[in-house]
């Protein structure tokens, strides 16, 4: 050990040895510089912090939107209630305005579907009270688009159809009510009452169509000195088909 120390001193005095590469590496390791791993770690931390800030901002925006929607829903419901009050006092035009305003205010979200369908149905009954049955039908249809099982809307649309003598359409709505509520006596009675009226209207429309076709035929055949009365149709009892014969 002593010899090694002396030799080392001689080398140090005469010709100091060059530092080895390992010595350089050790020296550089002594400086307070960030390693690649440390740099990567700091960058990841910054990314995580940015992501957290973005998520918090998104949540804050979502909360703001939800709060605004809730306030709009409550306001729309208050306006609808005012419409109900006006309807109860017979102010149908004013009630219509309130229902329209409620529909304008109500937010477009799933929780307001029921409110909007009610406003459409209530608008329909206002139109019916004012004798505007076509408009009543349109409003009921809008209500049913939002809520297909809304029986009040089906009933009001059926009543409006009946007022316009749309008996087939009224019966169809009553049948839908029976699908939802098979024990609904009002729907059953209405179907029985409107059935004969619908049949009578079909026959009347058929006669009117035949009359129009006859007039058209006479206008064409008249150029040749003939009319549809010159033609007679005979039904074959065996086949059910018709044969046409010409008579002067």
Using CA atoms, how far apart are residues 163 and 156, in angstroms rounded to an integer? 11
CA pseudo-torsion sign 51, 57, 61, 63: positive
Q: What is the pTM of this model?
A: 0.63
Instruction: Give yes or no for residue 98 having a pLDDT over 60.
Output: yes
Share of the chain above pLDDT 70, in %: 62
Strand, helix or coil for residue 132: coil
Q: How far apart are CA 170 and CA 159, in angstroms?
A: 7
CA distance 141 to 49: 52
How would you label 56-76 residue by residue, b for 16+ Cβ within 10 Å and e otherwise? eeeeeeeeeeeeebeebbeeb
Q: DSSP assignment, residue 232?
A: E
Alpha helices, H only, 106-166: 113-129, 133-146, 151-163
Domains of the chain (ranges plus CATH)? 64-164 (1.25.40.10), 167-222 (no CATH)
- pLDDT(32) > 70: no
Nearest-angstrom CA–CA distance, 120 and 107: 15
Beta bridge partners of 231: 246
Percent of the chain at pLDDT exceeding 90: 50
Q: pLDDT category, 168, cuts 50, 70, 90?
A: very high
Which one, of 152, 147, 149, 151, lies nearest residue 123 by Cα? 152
Mean pLDDT of the 152-159 span? 98
């Amino acid at each position: 050990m002593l010899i090694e120390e002396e030799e080392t001193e001689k080398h140090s005095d005469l010709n100091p040895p060059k530092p080895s590469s390992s010595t350089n590496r050790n020296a550089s390791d002594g400086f307070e510089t960030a390693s690649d791993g440390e740099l990567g770690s700091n960058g990841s931390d910054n990314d995580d912090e940015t992501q957290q800030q973005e998520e918090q901002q998104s949540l804050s925006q979502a909360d703001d939107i939800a709060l605004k929607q809730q306030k709009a829903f409550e306001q729309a419901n208050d306006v609808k209630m005012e419409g109900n009050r006006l309807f109860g006092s017979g102010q149908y035009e004013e009630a219509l305005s309130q229902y329209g305003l409620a529909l304008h205010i109500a937010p477009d979200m799933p929780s307001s579907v029921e409110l909007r369908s009610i406003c459409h149905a209530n608008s329909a009954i206002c139109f019916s009270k004012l004798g505007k049955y076509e408009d009543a039908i349109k409003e009921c249809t809008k209500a049913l688009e939002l809520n297909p099982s809304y029986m009040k809307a089906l009933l009001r649309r059926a009543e409006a159809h009946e007022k316009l003598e749309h008996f087939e359409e009224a019966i169809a709505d009553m049948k839908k009510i029976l699908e939802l509520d098979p024990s609904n006596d009002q729907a059953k009675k209405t179907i029985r009452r409107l059935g004969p009226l619908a049949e009578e209207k079909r026959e009347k429309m058929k006669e009117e169509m035949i009359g129009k076709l006859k007039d058209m035929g006479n206008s064409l055949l008249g150029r040749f000195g003939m009319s549809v009365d010159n033609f007679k149709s005979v039904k074959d009892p065996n086949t059910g088909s018709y044969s046409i014969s010409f008579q002067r």
